[in-house]
Amino acid sequence: MLWKRQRRMKEPDYARIRELLTARCVNAITEFAATADNREVYLFFVWCDPDNGSYGVAINTREGFRKRIAEAYGGRPEEGEGGIGAPKYNFGDCAYIQPGTGSRELDEICEQWLAYAGHLYDTLPGEIAEPRIRERGERFVDQAVEAIRCLADTLSQLDCTEDFIAYVELHERSDEENVAVLRRTVSEEQIARALPDIIKTERLHAQLRQRPEEEQAQYWRDAWFDFLLERGSPLEALGLCRYSAEEELVKLGAIAEPHILDIAEYCFEHAVSPGVDFLQSLGVRAHPDGNVHDRLRRLLRRALELPHLRGTVYSVLLAGLLHQLFPAQYPEPPLQEEATNRLWNPEAFGIEPLRG
């Protein structure tokens, strides 16, 4: 095999990453502890982007949170409360952020890590490269977790609240993944004090899993409409939103297809933008039957007809789904110019092109 003859590239030194990142955290905490702002600290965390090989460090206090709410959220505390990802526990909303690593050597090693991942993609078949890169991404996260575990003495310099927590936040990962990493540095007792919604949400999911999948799908469909139409969903108190409902429908797979299509149809007719990934899940999960076919065709027609949808990605996306699910009936849509997002061959999908 050709890929076996490719030049080997040195893998980063993960122990050195952990050592340098720990030093970065110690410096950040020590510097902050010496300031007048070191009062009622409730949060310390390392932001970690395992896809792009980068870290950041942040600290927040109750006063810093109050100021952020006043500046960015109209002074409404309820806008900032909630679980992971809500402003109270979000890297970008922290009052004291130290982006980057603060170490040239650590920057270089992170760049080496990213280059190594790219090297694997370039030199190995995808089915071999992807699990290796995933495993190395986990090791990259591990160094941040271990860095926090080394900080017990240093964190004692901070004026911490009773609900103080220190954890790793993952960039662009699901709440479930972030909660799993959080639990590696935060005890259940601490979670109950600082983030009780996590436990309540897990109980809700456990209760729902006892129901038939069709009932679960109906529950999340109804929740989606409750969120959108502002009908006062009790899930709001758990920090959930309509995108949370979309994620749950996608997880349920084929049983949720009719409900995903219900939501897509409502969105198109009421000028609401459904998530692209949400719609694309039909292509991965769908059991392609006549009902799915007909409803996708109607959605494609509406995407071409409705003024607010013309020039959006949806016509090309839906044409791609029809090809993916029914390849014997529909061609693959031609590549589009990104600026237009226009489907150039609607007649191939049984739709007359619009005139004018």
Query: What are 309-338's pLDDT values in tens digits?
Result: 877 889 889 999 999 999 989 998 876 555
- What per-residue confidence (pLDDT) applies to 1? 38
Residue 130 inside a domain? The answer is yes
- What per-residue confidence (pLDDT) applies to 46? 94
Average pLDDT over residues 342-356: 76
- What per-residue confidence (pLDDT) applies to 80? 47
Average pLDDT over residues 249-258: 91
Residue among 254, 49, 77 at smallest CA distance from 172: 49
Average pLDDT over residues 77-105: 74
Specify the higher pLDDT residue, 71 or 144: 144
Query: 340 pLDDT exceeds 50?
Result: yes
- What per-residue confidence (pLDDT) applies to 355? 59
Phi, psi of 310 (to 5 degrees): -65, 140
- Tens of pLDDT, residues 1-38: 334 434 456 788 899 999 999 999 999 999 999 999 99
| CB-CB contact of 13 with 73 (8 Å) | no
Specify the higher pLDDT residue, 53 or 287: 53
How many residues are recorded in the chain? 356
Average pLDDT over residues 247-269: 92
Q: How many domains does the chain have?
A: 1
| CB-CB contact of 17 with 142 (8 Å) | no
pLDDT band at 218; cut points 50, 70, 90: very high
Specify the higher pLDDT residue, 239 or 226: 226
Residue 111 inside a domain? The answer is yes
Dist. CA 204–CA 245, nearest whole Å: 13
Distances (CA, A) of 246 to 70, 226, 306, 326: 30, 13, 24, 24
End-to-end CA distance of the chain: 54
> Which domain range does residue 162 map to?
2-201
Where do the DSSP E strands lie in the chain? 41-49, 54-61, 96-99, 160-170
H or E, element range at 139: helix 126-149
Residues paired with 55 in a beta bridge: 48
Residue 227 inside a domain? The answer is no
- What per-residue confidence (pLDDT) applies to 104? 86
Residues paired with 166 in a beta bridge: 44
- What per-residue confidence (pLDDT) applies to 2? 39
- What per-residue confidence (pLDDT) applies to 180? 93
Residue 110 inside a domain? The answer is yes
Q: Mean pLDDT for the chain?
A: 86
Residue 161 inside a domain? The answer is yes
Tokens of 243: 């995108």
- What per-residue confidence (pLDDT) applies to 158? 97
Query: 72 pLDDT exceeds 90?
Result: no
- What per-residue confidence (pLDDT) applies to 49? 93
- Tens of pLDDT, residues 154-187: 999 999 999 999 999 999 888 888 999 999 999 9
Query: 82 pLDDT exceeds 90?
Result: no
Residue 71 inside a domain? The answer is yes
pLDDT band at 204; cut points 50, 70, 90: very high
- What per-residue confidence (pLDDT) applies to 286? 64
Residue 185 inside a domain? The answer is yes
Residue 306 inside a domain? The answer is no
